[in-house]
Structure 1
Amino acid sequence: MKFSIIIPTLNEAQNIQGCLMALQPLRSDCEIIVVDGGSNDNTPAVAEPLADQLINAPKGRAWQMNAGARQATGEVLVFLHADTALPDNAIPLIQQQINQPAPWGRFDIRLSGDHFMLKVIARMMNWRSRLTGIATGDQVIFVTRDAFMAVGGYPDISLMEDIAICKELNKISPPLCLKAKVTSSGRRWLQFGLYKTILLMWSLRLRYFFGEDPQTLARLYSGGHLWMP
């Protein structure tokens, strides 16, 4: 079974080398596809020699990940953020459990950083995901190509693309919730203040549930605003 690891990037020069170096031992069984959304730092130059493909796509994780999926040759697609690290046995774990019975899933998560609340947030993310069948992109969503194509890939929206595709995939089956932990940077939670960011994330989810335009939500997310300034 061949895997395609698809990594959307935008100005990730500080993270992409470490991310890709950690994936090098997997290249016998996996192809690595970096999809850049128009970085104005040296992300593409750093990534190119460490990836099987470097693709340019319009900015936005949904568009970038779909572009990577179109070029991928693997039977299983693994969508990885540049600031997230897979557990050592990630690929064997997926290979052992994919399609038994679910054709998709995600990992548990830990958040790197010293603040004690990051552990609480990660634990809550894992619990919520098990209860709802909804994963975040930070938890590294993986899916068979057939299932990905069956739901039409990621919807063309500016934010909440992970929630949207999980809702569609849940119509096929609940996810595999692997207990092995990916390690994701806590930088986003700390950037605008941890407690403000918790409130922001819940606000964005609630507003998306009630039909708020994802483009508006994306502007709030990128600026760390609870309301449009």
Structure 2
Amino acid sequence: MKISVIIPVLHEQDQINRIINHLRSIDPDIEIIVIDGDPGNSTIAAIADKKVFRLTSTIKGRGNQLAAGASAADGDILLMLHADTFLPSHAFSSILTAVSRGTDWGAFRLGIDATSPLYRVIERFVDLRCKLFALPYGDQAIFVRRVALQEIGGIPAIPLMEDVALARKLRQTGFRFTMLSERVSTSPRRWQKDGVIRRTLHNWLLLLRYLFGADPEKLANRYQAN
């Protein structure tokens, strides 16, 4: 089975080649699709790897970008990856093994690239959330079989909370979820910018507002403003 990696980006020109090189170090032939939410293509213009498939999203927002990337992908399994999240060294083989054993979708455990004990607490709470509710976030590198994605109507084309909406649809439809044992390594930049407690509480508030029916467009505007 073939895996396609879909990376939605917005002003990630300083980071994009690092994540592409990281993916190539795991599998030189992996299909990589980068979807730029900037009409000026600032991130796409910085890509050095000529094999990367590049798209410009007509509508900014991760859900919209991921939906466009999924339509362009050739893979049987789609892996949605943030530009500041790095995969474990055996990521692709772990995904293929899980799928061969009946997994329809899943994610890695969260790992935050910072030393403070507060980050370890966040990681453990995320582990618990995924165990209890099968609710990974996008920074955990969610993967899904194409056939499962097609059955639920594709990636929700919303600007924020697309990861939550996707997980809820897959879970409600009865598709089998697996949280893999390895951890990704994701940047702590938003926590460091806003403060660990403030950012965590803000994320929880956004989730609660979404679950109670708030408009994802308004939530996205609030998220980007903070």
- Find the counterpart in structure 2 of residue 227 from structure 1: none
Q: Separation in 2 of the partners of 1:50 and 1:186?
A: 29
Q: 1:41 to 1:116 in 2, by over 3 A?
A: farther
TM-score calculated relative to the size of structure 2: 0.93
Provide the aligned length of Structure 1 versus Structure 2. 223
The Cα shift of 1:39 comes to 6.2
- Find the counterpart in structure 1 of residue 76 from structure 2: 75
| 1:175-190 to 2 correspondences below 5 Å | 175-190=177-192
The Cα shift of 1:167 comes to 0.6
User: Which stretches in structure 2 are left out of the alignment for 5+ residues?
Assistant: none
SS at match of 1:98: helix
The Cα shift of 1:217 comes to 1.1
The Cα shift of 1:51 comes to 4.2
What does the per-residue CA deviation read over 1:67-113, in whole Å, with 9 as the maximum and x for residues that have no partner? 11111111110001100001000011111111522211000011112
- Find the counterpart in structure 1 of residue 160 from structure 2: 159
TM-score calculated relative to the size of structure 1: 0.92
AA of the residue aligned to 1:212:
A
Q: 1:96 to 1:118 in 2, by over 3 A?
A: same
- Find the counterpart in structure 1 of residue 60 from structure 2: 59
Checking the alignment, whether the CA contact within 8 Å between 2:109 and 2:184 is kept in structure 1 is yes
Q: Separation in 2 of the partners of 1:17 and 1:98?
A: 29
The Cα shift of 1:12 comes to 0.5
SS at match of 2:165: helix
Q: 1:50 to 1:129 in 2, by over 3 A?
A: farther
Q: Separation in 1 of the partners of 2:169 and 2:42?
A: 36
Q: Separation in 1 of the partners of 2:151 and 2:113?
A: 35
Please point out which of 199, 209, 212 is paired with 1:210.
212
SS at match of 2:83: coil
- Find the counterpart in structure 2 of residue 200 from structure 1: 202
The Cα shift of 1:42 comes to 3.8
The Cα shift of 1:59 comes to 1.1
Q: 1:27 to 1:211 in 2, by over 3 A?
A: same
The Cα shift of 1:174 comes to 3.8
Q: 1:215 to 1:42 in 2, by over 3 A?
A: closer
- Find the counterpart in structure 2 of residue 138 from structure 1: 139
Checking the alignment, whether the CA contact within 8 Å between 1:105 and 1:177 is kept in structure 2 is yes
Q: Separation in 2 of the partners of 1:102 and 1:94?
A: 9
RMSD over aligned Cα atoms? 1.6
Question: What percentage of residue pairs aligned between the two structures are identical?
Answer: 37
Checking the alignment, whether the CA contact within 8 Å between 2:104 and 2:176 is kept in structure 1 is no
What does the per-residue CA deviation read over 1:183-203, in whole Å, with 9 as the maximum and x for residues that have no partner? 111111222222111111111
SS at match of 2:112: strand
